[in-house]
Amino acid sequence: MKVIDVILINTFIFALPIVLSTLGGLIAYKLNIVNIGLEGFMLLGGLFSGLGVYYTKSYVVGLLICLIFSGLIGLIYAFFAIKLKSNFIITGFAINVIAGALSAYILITMDRKDLDLNVVNAENLKLVFSGTENIPILNGLINSHSPMFFITIIIFILLVVIFNSTRFGTYIKVIGENEKAARAQGIKVDLIKYLALILSALIVGLGGFAIAVEQIKLFTPDIIAGTGFIAIAAFYCGNGKPSSSLLYALLFGLAKALAFTLAFNMPQVEGILKIVPYVAIVIVLTVTAIIKRRKSLMRGVYQDE
Partner 1 sequence: MEAKLNKKIEKKTGILSTLINVLVPILLALIIAIIPILIQNENPFKVYFYMIFGNFTSFDNIATLFHTMAPLILTGMAIGISFKAGLFNMGVESGVIVSGFVTAVLGYYLKSWPKGVLIPFLFLVGAICGIIVLIIPAILKAYLNVNEMVVTLLLNYAYIDILKYLTTYVDGIRDKQAGYIKTFTIGQNASLTGFLGSSFTLFFFIAILIFFILLFLIKRTKLGYRIDALGKNTCYSEAVGLNVKKSIIGIMLLSGAIAGIAGAGWLMSDKKSYALDFSGSPGLGWDGMVISLLGAHSPIGILISSLFYGILKAGVNYVSFNTIVPGQIILIIQGLLILFLSFKIFTNKSSIEYIRLKNFINKCELYFEKKKNKRQKIEVDKE
Partner 2 sequence: MFAIKTVALTKKFGEFIANDNISINVEKGKILAIVGENGAGKTTLMNMLYGLLKPTSGEIYVNDEKVDFRSPADAIKHGIGMVHQHFKLVPSLTVYENIFLGNEDVFELDIKYRKDKVFKLKTGFIKKKEEKEIIKNLIEENNFNIDPSKKVKDLTVGAKQKVEILKMLQRNADILIFDEPTAVLIPQEIEEFFENVKKIKEKGKTIIIITHKLKEVMEISDNVYVIKQGKIIDYLKTSNTSEAEIANLMVGRSVLLKVDKKYRDLSNEKVIYRVQNLSTKDKDGKTVVDNVSFEIKSGEILGVAGVEGNGQTPLAHLLTGMMLPTSGDIYYKDQRITSFWPKELRKIGLGIIPEDRYLYGLCEEMSITNNLIASSLDDENICKRGIFQTKEIDRHCDNLIDKYDIRLSEKKGNISSLSGGNAQKIIIARELEKRPDVLICSQPTRGIDIGAIEFIHNSLLNYSKNGKAILLISSEISEIMSLSDRIIVMYKGKIIGEVDAKNTTLEELGLLMGGVGFGSQT
Say whether residue 101 binds partner 1 (CB under 8 A): yes
Among 61, 75, 102, 135, binds partner 1 (CB under 8 A): 102
**Residue 77: alpha-carbon gap to chain centroid:** 16
Part in contact with partner 2 (CB under 8 A); list of ranges 87-95, 132-140, 149-157, 165-173: 165-173
Say whether residue 160 binds partner 2 (CB under 8 A): no
- Picked from partner 1, partner 2, none, the partner binding residue 168 (CB below 5 to 8 A depending on kind) is partner 2
Say whether residue 94 binds partner 1 (CB under 8 A): yes
What are the CA-CA distances from residue 295 to residues 105, 289, 292 (Å)?
Answer: 50, 12, 9
> H or E element: which one contains 76?
helix 59-78
Q: What part of residues 182-201 is at the interface with partner 1 (CB under 8 A)?
A: none
Say whether residue 195 binds partner 2 (CB under 8 A): no
13 CB burial (10 A radius; 0-12, 13-18, 19+) = buried
Which string of x and - marks every residue 116-155 that binds partner 2 (by CB under 8 A)?
----------------------------------------
User: Contact 225/11 with Cβ under 8 angstroms?
Assistant: no
Q: Give the DSSP per-residue string, 81-116.
A: IIIS---HHHHHHHHHHHHHHHHHHHHHHTT-S-EE
Q: How far is the CB of 30 from partner 2 (least distance, A)?
A: 10
Part in contact with partner 2 (CB under 8 A); list of ranges 43-51, 80-88, 183-191, 201-209: 183-191
Closest CA to 152 of 240, 11, 5, 24: 24
User: Contact 213/59 with Cβ under 8 angstroms?
Assistant: yes
Q: Compute the residue count for the chain.
A: 305
The site for partner 1 (CB under 8 A) is made up of: 36, 80, 84-91, 93-95, 97-102, 104-105, 108-109, 225-226, 229-230, 232-233, 236, 268, 271-272, 274-275, 278-279, 281-282, 285-286, 289-290, 293, 299-304
